[in-house]
């Protein structure tokens, strides 16, 4: 059983749902990223997603794109990110996942990327631009390393394909709440709850909802339906507005506490 599996098994036994924050590695610097991981874990995050900066993210909105640009402009390197994750994973008990473009995995070498991720204490990968039909090689490497490989389903994914993706995903399944790019939204689609309930009935893998979740009201609406909620842009925006330092870490922690207080 992977660390992600253990996390969800514990949550289910306690009747709780996962809170999964996303932050960008190296925005504004790796010291702040490491401090944010510690803060998020101490506030009650179940899992933490760490985005590996990439120059051409296909599904990310302007907030996360800008954070990637800031990190790349600051010269962040993959080796330094793994070193930071190794330090962070030794200090927190929650699973850490990297959200990474497949082009980076390929350039690094899939086996080498997985080996380095495991050595850094990473528990899983999210590779949003890797189609499930082309994922068998990486899935095999991840499976041997007991590393989760999380796939994504969107509202426009045909149902037959959604079932195939759900059955291929390990750790959890990432349900994209809206068609389009990441970013905060005032309202979420009316059909979202029905779509997630249908998808959850097709798989034993936990289903987590991401894209657009940013308010306590969103949390109250969706936490009874999904196994977990993913919050990215709203956190990344606060980091971008505040910059480096303890004030940024504290501001993010207080925001996360507001969201966690809204869990049913």
Q: Does residue 49 carry a catalytic annotation?
A: yes
> Is a pLDDT exceeding 80 seen at residue 203?
yes
Out of 34, 39, 49, 227, pick the active-site residue.
Answer: 49
Out of 29, 60, 116, 227, pick the active-site residue.
Answer: 60
Supply the Cα-derived Rg of the chain in whole angstroms.
17
> Is a pLDDT exceeding 90 seen at residue 188?
no
- CATH code of the domain covering residue 173: 3.20.20.70
Distance CA(154)–CA(179), nearest Å, equals: 6
Token pair for 102 = 């497949």
pLDDT tens by residue, 92-104: 999 999 999 999 9
**Count of domains forming the chain:** 1
Q: Does residue 91 carry a catalytic annotation?
A: no
> Is a pLDDT exceeding 80 seen at residue 61?
no
Residue 170: name the closest of 51, 4, 20 by CA: 4
pLDDT of residue 3: 97
Domain span including residue 196: 3-261
Token pair for 238 = 């606060």
Banded model confidence at residue 172, pLDDT cuts 50, 70, 90: very high
Distance CA(56)–CA(101), nearest Å, equals: 9
């Amino acid at each position: 059983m992977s660390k992600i599996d253990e996390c969800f098994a514990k949550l289910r036994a306690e009747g709780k749902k996962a809170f999964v924050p996303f932050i960008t590695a190296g925005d504004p610097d790796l010291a702040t990223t490491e401090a944010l991981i510690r803060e998020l874990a101490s506030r009650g995050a179940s899992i933490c997603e760490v985005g590996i900066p990439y120059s051409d993210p296909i599904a990310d909105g302007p907030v996360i794109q800008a954070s990637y640009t800031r990190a790349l402009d600051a010269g962040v390197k993959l080796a330094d990110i793994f070193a930071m994750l190794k330090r962070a994973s030794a200090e927190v008990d929650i699973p850490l996942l990297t959200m990474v473009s497949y082009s980076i995995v390929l350039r690094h070498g899939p086996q080498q990327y997985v080996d380095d991720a495991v050595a850094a204490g990473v528990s899983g990968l999210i590779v949003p631009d890797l189609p499930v039909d082309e994922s068998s090689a990486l899935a095999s490497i991840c499976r041997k390393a007991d590393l989760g490989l999380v796939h994504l389903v969107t509202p426009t994914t045909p149902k037959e394909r959604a079932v195939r993706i759900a059955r291929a995903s390990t750790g959890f399944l990432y349900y994209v709440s809206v068609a389009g790019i990441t970013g905060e939204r005032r309202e979420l689609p009316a059909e979202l709850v029905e779509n997630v309930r249908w998808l959850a009935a097709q798989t034993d893998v936990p289903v987590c909802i991401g894209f657009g979740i940013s308010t306590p009201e969103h949390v109250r609406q969706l936490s009874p339906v999904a196994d977990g909620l993913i919050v990215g842009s709203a956190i990344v925006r606060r980091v971008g507005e505040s910059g480096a330092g303890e004030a940024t870490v504290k501001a993010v922690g207080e925001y996360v506490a507001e969201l966690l207080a809204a869990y049913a």
